[in-house]
A and B are shown apart, each in its own frame.
Chain A
């Protein structure tokens, strides 16, 4: 299976919400829009405060606030996201709180799965108790989940999103290959902490500080797997960042926190890339 994107630029899961940024983006500039991670059950998210920023980073503990897969499927069938599907290829992001949830959500997504060009599984959210990071630290459990999902979503282009905590990216990429998944996204946020006026905010770090770390992750995986589909995520703010990631082996590059700095960034980067190549 191959994923042909009309542009290497992709909106990352989370910062892009459920498509809200599309009002600022020229569809031609965008390869795909990844929706915020959906879990089996509705999640209210973490208690506030949830987000802070420095010059070079954002820290968040949103806690995967989302409507849950059943409501999401109903809304999708009812046409709530048609404005998005009509304009741009969409990737679904799924997550869970336990191995069973990771599998069950795949089954529940089946009725609408054809509307997405791919599914990205979030194996790396640092902001939920049992899902994400906790799952990947047990290789047997992770493998079992990935094999089962591959079996349920037989015809879907499956992308596994890993961070650098709980598992080495080298091992993660082996798992992707061994279980017959189609691609890998590297990396997710890294756990951090900042002081707030009345305490601490513990969350995942995103933004410019991630770029050299993401570059290394993409580089290592590309060294090992010449033909694996790799999406880079972490610290993309300018055309040069996209070029750098493509150079070390990414097939596509996600843009996340940079949307907060400049909602029109996708168009700006797209323009910057075409200027330089012409």
Chain B
């Protein structure tokens, strides 16, 4: 798979998934394996990482506006980026489910498309768009749903807040994988900025992850 530095990408469609999270649908088709991410240039001094995904047939990103950099990105129609980065996620045998927050809905789509997992969206906010997956709103509905699906799958991949990931890991235990977010500067293993402390020592989210086994992580 070719890694592109500084490619220009075009946003062909943009819409709101929640009041602060946008789906950006790209004009280009990007080759990637679920779990891989893209680093996007913005007015800040470092690029920002976003997990690659799909919306329907199209390559798409889900972006939550958290500050000036992300606010700027969701308003552009042309972006500069390098991709795909990170370790591809290869799931274990069996049937899986991908549990996402609005900011990783497009990742959920890629897990559905590539590995045929079910997808569950947990959100604290109202969902403003039609989506083809089950979703629950609010913490207690999310908790009930996780308890309900416990034991029904061979593996669970969670990409959401640390709280969500911890809850699923604590409830389900074995077979849980989590996608971690850490501030990144390079995205290619050079700067050592994205380090996390795991049970096996320091790991780097951009090259060892972003998806890790739940039992490696200190929640």
Residues of chain B within 8 A of A56, CB atoms compared: 45
Interface-lining segment among A44-52, A130-138, A221-229:
A44-52
Which of A36, A49, A53, A259 has the most chain B CB within a 10 Å cutoff?
A: A53
Cross-chain contact A263 with B193 (CB below 8 angstroms): no
- Write 13 A-B pairs (CB below 8 A) sorted by A numbering: A15-B190, A23-B5, A49-B183, A51-B185, A52-B183, A53-B44, A55-B44, A56-B45, A58-B185, A60-B185, A60-B191, A62-B195, A261-B41
Q: Which residues of A contact B82 (CB under 8 A)?
A: 24, 263
Determine the distance from Cα of A49 to Cα of B202 in the docked complex, in whole angstroms.
12
By a CB distance below 8 angstroms, the chain B residues around A44 are: 201-202
Contact of B197 with A by CB under 8 A: yes
User: Contacts A53-B44, A53-B185, A260-B46: A48 and B197 contacting too (C-beta < 8 A)?
Assistant: yes
Chain B's closest residue to A11 (CB) is: B190
What's the minimum C-beta distance from A184 to chain B, rounded to whole angstroms?
A: 24
Task: Tell me the complex Cα distance, A103–B68, Å.
Answer: 46
The 0/1 profile, CB within 8 Å of A marked 1, for residues 179-196 of chain B is 000111110111111111
Known: A44-B201, A208-B45, A261-B47. A65 touches B186 (CB 8 A): no
Q: Are B195 and A65 in contact (CB under 8 A)?
A: yes
Do the beta carbons of A16 and B201 come within 8 Å of each other? no
A14 within 8 Å of B (CB atoms) = yes
Size of the B side of the interface (Cβ < 8 Å), in residues, is 29
B6 at the interface (CB under 8 A from A): yes
**A259 to B187 CA separation, bound complex (whole angstroms):** 11
Given A48-B182, A51-B183, A261–B193 Cβ distance below 8 Å?
Answer: no
Assess the A263–B6 pair: CB atoms within 8 A: yes
* Contact status A50-B193, CB under 8 Å: yes
A33 CB to closest chain B CB (Å) equals 11
A264 contact set on B, CB distance < 8 A = 5-6
Closest 10 CB pairs of A and B: A17-B190, A51-B193, A20-B190, A53-B46, A53-B45, A260-B46, A260-B185, A24-B5, A65-B192, A264-B6
B-chain residues with CB within 8 Å of residue A45 when the two chains form the complex:
192, 195, 202
B197 and A261: CB pair below 8 A?
no
User: Which one of B3, B195, B201, B202 has the greatest number of beta carbons of chain A within 10 Å?
Assistant: B195
Query: Hey, which chain A residues are within 8 Å of B41, CB to CB?
Result: 261-262
Residues of A within 8 A of B185 (CB): 15, 51, 53, 58, 60, 257, 260
Q: How far is the CA of A16 from the CA of B191 in the complex (A)?
A: 7
- Name B64-102 residues within 8 Å CB distance of A: 68, 80, 82
* Interface bits A252-272 vs B (CB < 8 Å: 1, else 0): 000001011111100000000
CB < 8 Å neighbour of A62 from B6, B189, B193: B193
Q: Which of B36-65 contact A (CB under 8 A)?
A: 41, 43-47
- Are A259 and B5 neighbours in the complex by a CB distance under 8 Å? no
**A264 and B45 alpha carbons, distance in the complex (Å):** 15
Bound CA span A263–B5, Å: 7
- In Å, the complex CA distance between A180 and B116 comes to 66
B137 to chain A, nearest CB (A): 24
In the complex, what residues of A have CB within 8 A of residue B3's CB?
23
| Contacting residues of chain A (31-68) with chain B, CB-CB under 8 angstroms | 36, 44-45, 47-58, 60, 62, 65
Known: A23-B3, A44-B201, A264-B6. A17 touches B191 (CB 8 A): yes
Would you call A65 and B202 a contact (CB within 8 A)?
Answer: yes
